[in-house]
A and B are shown apart, each in its own frame.
Chain A
Amino acid sequence: MSVPVSQAFTICSYVIRQRMKGNKYYPLVLMLEPLFRCNLECAGCGKIQYPEHVLQRRLTPEQCFRAADECGAPVISLPGGEPLIHPEIKEIVEGLVVRKKYVYLCTNALLLKRKMGLFTPSKYLTFSVHLDGLEEDHDHSVCRDGTFKTAVEAIQEALKRGFRVTTNMTLFEGTDPERVREFFDYLTNLGVEGMMLSPGYSYTHAPDQKHFLHRNRTHDLFNRILANPKKAWQFNQSPLFLEFLMGHRDYNCTPWGTPTYNIFGWQKPCYLLQDGYARTFKQMIAETDWSRYGHHTNNPLCRDCMVHSGYEPTAVNDTFSSWNGFLRTVKLTLFGGLGEGYRNGRQAEIAAQLAASGHGQKPSSPCGCGCSSNKPQEPSGDKK
């Protein structure tokens, strides 16, 4: 397990409390975007496509604390934009840590080495560094050479100073599974606490046959990456979510599990789609027609989405809503076994089971490698 026991316990007890209260719409991770401005300009990133006067705006520390208190999620992710650009990021992080929130500061790490001194190592603070692969792949993905080297140097320095460091990676169609496995070995040797994976999000294509293949290719890709995981690899996410990515589980989205707050307010319905904003968390929950979103609704915007922000909360909920889910999580966490269905040659059976449940499983692409020349957009919030 790649999170401290205290963090796992906090999340566990929080989820159990919410379930005992009968609260269906509880948030697990607050996506708190303190600004949109970034020091990278990744192609297709919707977060930075705003007029200059919008990019100049930032949430104040007080706004951040109010959002954290309002929604009550035990974990807070600070994406952006690049949060280290925020002149009051130190105050924001300190205030959240005082509230005993587990803070994941998501950064491209270009400024991390320089700004690390602002922070104090704590079990409540993790630097979640964006790395999309080995040097060539990552630099290509973020459209700037040298980014990988800078990020790795910062990771090494952060680890040396006693900070918790994880990585987050977005995988796109056309990713070479073997290179990803090499990348996992590299990160493991580097000493990061855990790795987080998510498939890239693409909804701009027409809802046609290709779309279904896209989801199926995602399963193929993750099976090839994770079917035979090395024991040393540590993932900073639910093992049930990883099984979902591999197509071994069928989940619907829990968009309210990772609510997003930024300079426009509380974003409806999720981190990726922007279908409007509400002034308060309560209003966002009450005003959103949740039946319109998620894979099972056949909403074309959601059909291919398998992104962690929507499906990881479902996996966590699964852990606590059935003995099967709970025991499976415990088994995978303590003893491994991820991908055993695939290794045992059950992939065809699993695909047939999912197809029988009516959720869009089609035969794999002929080569099965998930190859495609189209890189989908980053999972980073295009307007609807």
Chain B
Amino acid sequence: MTETELAAVIEKAFDYRGDVTVDLKDGRQVVGFLSNRNLKGAEHCSEPFIELMIASQPELVCIACRDIVNIRLTGEDTAAGKSWEDWAAKEATKKKTQGKA
């Protein structure tokens, strides 16, 4: 995966409202919610990194982008079907059904 491709994958995972699985170069996999990405680096990590919130760990886990092979959207998307439009459509159907009954 090129640097640009990886950046796109990271961005997609960052926008995702569910857990992701990060495949690392050493063969390990890390599962968690991708809460942050910084492709410039910051004070606590001078190179590009992502941050994950992992269910079993109290602190955020920081992973350098150079260690990442791929990121997969593996958890349930908690935003799916929960927009205002979805709710309004459901309500309309409910009312219609109630009207018929």
User: Which residues of A line the B interface, CB within 8 A?
Assistant: 41, 43-44, 46, 49-51, 53-54, 57, 143, 263-265, 276-280, 283, 287, 375-377, 383-384
Contact = CB atoms under 8 A, between A and B. Distances in A.
Nearest to A382: B79
Contact of B82 (A43, A264, A277, A280): A43
Q: Is the interface of A mostly helix, strand, loop or mixed?
A: loop
B52 to A, nearest CB: 11
Interface of B: 14-15, 17-19, 33, 35-38, 40, 42-44, 51, 53, 55, 60, 75-76, 78-79, 82-84, 86-88
Given A44-B82, A51-B18, A51-B75, A264 B43 contact: no
Given A41-B82, A50-B78, A279-B43, 16 more contacts: A43-B82, A43-B83, A49-B17, A50-B33, A51-B75, A264-B53, A265-B36, A265-B60, A276-B14, A277-B51, A278-B42, A375-B88, A377-B83, A383-B15, A384-B14, A384-B15
18 contacts: A41-B82, A43-B83, A43-B86, A43-B88, A44-B83, A44-B87, A49-B78, A49-B79, A49-B82, A50-B33, A57-B53, A264-B35, A264-B51, A264-B53, A265-B36, A276-B38, A277-B36, A279-B42
Residue of B14, B18, B78, B84 most packed against chain A (CB within 10 A): B84
A287 B84 contact: no
Contacts of A143: 87
Contacts of A375: 84, 88
Contacts of A43: 82-84, 86-88
A57 B55 CA distance: 9
Contacts of A287: 38, 40, 42
A53 B87 contact: no
A123 B15 CA distance: 40
Given A264-B60, A383-B17, A384-B15, A46 B53 contact: no
A61 to B, nearest CB: 16
Given A143-B87, A277-B35, A283-B43, A50 B60 contact: no
A276 B37 contact: yes
A29 B51 CA distance: 27
A245 B41 CA distance: 38
A51 B35 contact: no
B29 to A, nearest CB: 17
